[in-house]
């Protein structure tokens, strides 16, 4: 009855999180109905890429998809076409919650009991019920803090052993936002072992964010999640690691083996496996190269949202980035100006070639807007690994009505309240490049500010890195 061309396809995700009082689902209000984030597949996108993109666009959140849950619902659209919607399950791993202004009226977290009557369409109700059932069966990781293999997400006993070896009896502890909920358990374990602790409660998104105030206080700091970006004494770094299967590389190798050489990069979560990944790729016929890192990215092949040295150092014809989302891959592409592919380690193995063009178009709009600004606030971070004072002062000297602002958390509210027409970001580069949509006015990178002032040409655009 319906031809293939009339059949539409969307992908989305049921996003959930654990709270101290149970787990909750994220619903979004689209016009008047409450539902889950989803949207149409664009071009040759994979289902998961569509879901990740739509979730990011509609909610502002970066999420980790659990592809073992894949539920399809079908219904007839108002235009009469049949539509299939593929839903995955996902949990937030980053980003900042904010509804997409043009499309979404609101987004809110609900318990299952409260979400069920709120969801408008019957097909969504069925998806929610299936998700609830699945989460109850597969919740070890989030509820109990152990991976599917039963290993704890936080290596409590390794931390205790290391502290005992060093004779530490009192320590500060700092966990990043995605793992902070394990803080009470870590404190309990330390206390049981005779180690007293004080917790860093401020937001933490990286080792550039080291809570040195709490460390000074306790004399020692356990920092969970990352490798060092600055030289600090008396800090024990416990990077967060997740194993990935080399099976995910097979399809990718078909595409990558046409290049003379391919750099392999990833984030700290997987960099412990990068040698093994490169070996697997070589066995599949890909000339894989691991570039050495930089002081901020001590592990081979490691990249950060502010440093792509390992991709540049590899000096290859093409790049493979292994990780969720496309932000880092776009960074690699801009930093190397070479074909760049993203591979989701939890996905189907389909490579996604990234293009920096949509990103550059958005930045161009902000640069044009900023040309009308009369005053510029130059943001200088007070975070240990993000403070580029010389750069901030140099930039402030370039415009009559520019002034340096020392700030810790860069939020929409602070930029509104401070009252400048536009801002230049010398803190975490990702803020200006990935989070512009939540700010009320242009937030420029240093190079973009120079373009606004006419002392750099658009052709010399470069991505902001902290070297």
Positions touching a second copy (CB under 8 A) are 19-21, 29, 32, 105-106, 172, 177, 180-184, 187-188, 191, 197-203, 211, 213-214, 217, 375, 377, 379-380, 382, 401, 403-410, 413-414, 416-421, 440-441
Residue nearer to a second copy on the CB measure, 180 or 430: 180
Considering the complex, what minimum distance in angstroms separates the CB of residue 366 from a second copy? 14
- The terminus-to-terminus CA distance of the chain in angstroms comes to 60
| Angle between helices 156-165 and 183-192 in degrees, nearest 10 | 40
- Which pairing describes strands 288-289 and 262-266: parallel, antiparallel, or unpaired? parallel
Considering the complex, what minimum distance in angstroms separates the CB of residue 417 from a second copy? 4
Q: Where in 31-178 does DSSP place strands (E)?
A: 33-35, 38-40, 61-76, 82-95, 104-111, 170-174
Considering the complex, what minimum distance in angstroms separates the CB of residue 3 from a second copy? 38
Residue nearer to a second copy on the CB measure, 382 or 437: 382
Whether the Cβ atoms of residue 187 and residue 237 lie closer than 8 Å to each other: no
Residue nearer to a second copy on the CB measure, 222 or 281: 222
The whole-angstrom separation of Cα 39 and Cα 51 is 7
The whole-angstrom separation of Cα 28 and Cα 108 is 7
Whether the Cβ atoms of residue 18 and residue 142 lie closer than 8 Å to each other: yes
Residue nearer to a second copy on the CB measure, 203 or 315: 203
Considering the complex, what minimum distance in angstroms separates the CB of residue 389 from a second copy? 9
Considering the complex, what minimum distance in angstroms separates the CB of residue 181 from a second copy? 4
User: Where is 213: in which H helix or E strand?
Assistant: helix 212-218
Residue nearer to a second copy on the CB measure, 237 or 420: 420
Considering the complex, what minimum distance in angstroms separates the CB of residue 147 from a second copy? 18
Considering the complex, what minimum distance in angstroms separates the CB of residue 253 from a second copy? 39
The whole-angstrom separation of Cα 373 and Cα 364 is 15
Residue nearer to a second copy on the CB measure, 43 or 419: 419
Three-state DSSP at 388 gives: coil
How many other CB atoms are found less than 10 A from the CB of residue 212? 17
Look up residue 356 and give its two tokens. 């920096």
Residue nearer to a second copy on the CB measure, 1 or 413: 413
The whole-angstrom separation of Cα 230 and Cα 221 is 14
Residue nearer to a second copy on the CB measure, 174 or 271: 174
Residue nearer to a second copy on the CB measure, 74 or 401: 401
Considering the complex, what minimum distance in angstroms separates the CB of residue 31 from a second copy? 10
Residue nearer to a second copy on the CB measure, 203 or 219: 203
Considering the complex, what minimum distance in angstroms separates the CB of residue 455 from a second copy? 21
Whether the Cβ atoms of residue 252 and residue 272 lie closer than 8 Å to each other: no
Whether the Cβ atoms of residue 327 and residue 304 lie closer than 8 Å to each other: no
The whole-angstrom separation of Cα 122 and Cα 443 is 42
- Which pairing describes strands 38-40 and 33-35: parallel, antiparallel, or unpaired? unpaired
Look up residue 109 and give its two tokens. 């977290």
How many other CB atoms are found less than 10 A from the CB of residue 27? 25
- Which pairing describes strands 22-30 and 8-19: parallel, antiparallel, or unpaired? antiparallel
Look up residue 363 and give its two tokens. 């930045």
Considering the complex, what minimum distance in angstroms separates the CB of residue 274 from a second copy? 30
Whether the Cβ atoms of residue 32 and residue 68 lie closer than 8 Å to each other: no
Whether the Cβ atoms of residue 237 and residue 223 lie closer than 8 Å to each other: yes
Residue nearer to a second copy on the CB measure, 360 or 403: 403
Considering the complex, what minimum distance in angstroms separates the CB of residue 195 from a second copy? 12
């Amino acid at each position: 009855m319906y031809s293939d061309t009339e059949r539409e396809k969307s992908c989305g995700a049921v996003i959930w999180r654990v709270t101290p009082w149970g787990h909750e689902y994220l619903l979004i209000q689209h016009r008047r109905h409450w539902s889950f984030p989803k949207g149409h597949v664009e071009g040759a996108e994979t289902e998961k890429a569509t879901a990740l993109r739509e979730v990011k666009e509609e909610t502002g959140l970066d999420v980790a998809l659990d592809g073992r849950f894949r539920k399809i619902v079908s219904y007839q659209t108002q235009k009469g076409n049949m539509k299939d919607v593929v839903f995955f399950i996902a949990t937030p791993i980053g980003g900042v919650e904010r509804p997409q202004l043009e499309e979404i009226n609101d987004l809110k977290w609900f318990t299952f009991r409260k979400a069920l009557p709120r969801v408008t369409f019957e097909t969504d109700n069925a998806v929610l019920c299936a998700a609830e059932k699945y989460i109850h069966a597969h919740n070890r990781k989030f509820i109990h803090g152990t991976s599917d293999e039963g290993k704890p997400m936080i290596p409590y006993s390794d931390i205790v052993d290391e502290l005992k070896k060093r004779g530490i009896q009192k320590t500060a502890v700092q966990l990043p936002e995605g793992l902070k909920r394990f803080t009470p358990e870590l404190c309990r374990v330390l206390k049981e072992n005779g180690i007293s602790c004080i917790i860093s409660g401020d937001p933490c998104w990286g080792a550039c964010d080291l809570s040195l105030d709490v460390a000074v206080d306790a004399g020692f700091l356990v920092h969970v999640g990352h490798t060092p970006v600055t030289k600090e004494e008396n800090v024990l770094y416990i990077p967060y690691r997740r194993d990935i299967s080399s099976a995910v590389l097979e399809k990718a190798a078909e595409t990558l083996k046409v290049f003379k050489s391919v750099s392999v990069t990833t984030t700290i979560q997987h960099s412990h496996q990068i040698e093994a990944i490169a070996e697997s790729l070589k066995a599949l016929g890909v000339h894989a190269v691991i570039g050495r890192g930089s002081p901020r990215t001590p592990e081979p092949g490691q990249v950060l949202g502010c440093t792509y040295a390992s991709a540049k150092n590899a000096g290859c014809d093409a790049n493979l980035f292994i990780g969720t989302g496309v932000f880092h891959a776009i960074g690699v592409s801009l930093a190397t100006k070479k074909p760049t592919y993203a591979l989701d380690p939890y996905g189907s193995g389909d490579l996604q070639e990234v293009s920096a063009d949509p990103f550059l178009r958005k930045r161009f709009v902000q640069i044009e807007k900023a040309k009308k600004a009369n005053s510029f606030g130059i943001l200088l971070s007070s975070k240990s690994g993000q403070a580029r004072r010389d750069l901030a002062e140099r930039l402030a000297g370039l415009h009559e009505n520019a002034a340096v602002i020392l700030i810790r958390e860069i939020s929409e509210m602070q930029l509104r309240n401070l009252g400048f027409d536009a801002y230049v970001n010398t803190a975490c580069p990702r803020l200006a490049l990935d989070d512009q949509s939540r700010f009320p006015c242009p937030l420029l990178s240093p190079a973009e500010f120079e373009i606004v002032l006419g002392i750099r040409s658009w052709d010399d655009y470069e991505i902001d890195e902290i070297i």
